Amino acid sequence: PPHIVRLKRLRYQSWHRGCKETDVILGHYCDAHLEHATEEEIALMEAFLEEDDYDIWQWVGYDVPPPDARYAPLIAKLQQFKASTP
């Protein structure tokens, strides 16, 4: 099904960003959460992963607000996930 293909693509894109810090955060987050994600969450993650690695790291790691407010809930989840991961 197309849903499975999208999830596989998101996992791959999450783990192969080019920046190790974002690879680790996004990769582990996707492994832990994508399986039960809603269509809206999947679409948001697809859009989010189109953003520049440097920007993603600033938003997640340094509380820099994203220019697109729709990312705010996802960034909050990523920050919480990052804080709870050893």
Q: What pTM was computed for the model?
A: 0.88
pLDDT over threshold 90, residue 60? yes
Average pLDDT over residues 7-13: 93
Identify the DSSP state of 19: S
Burial class (CB in 10 A: 0-12, 13-18, 19+), 13: middle
- Burial readout 66-80 (b: 16 or more C-beta within 10 A, e: otherwise): beeeebeebbeebee
Report d(CA 72, CA 86) in Å as an integer. 23
pLDDT of res. 1: 56
Summarised one tens digit per residue, pLDDT across range 26-46 is 999 999 998 888 899 999 999
pLDDT of residue 4: 86
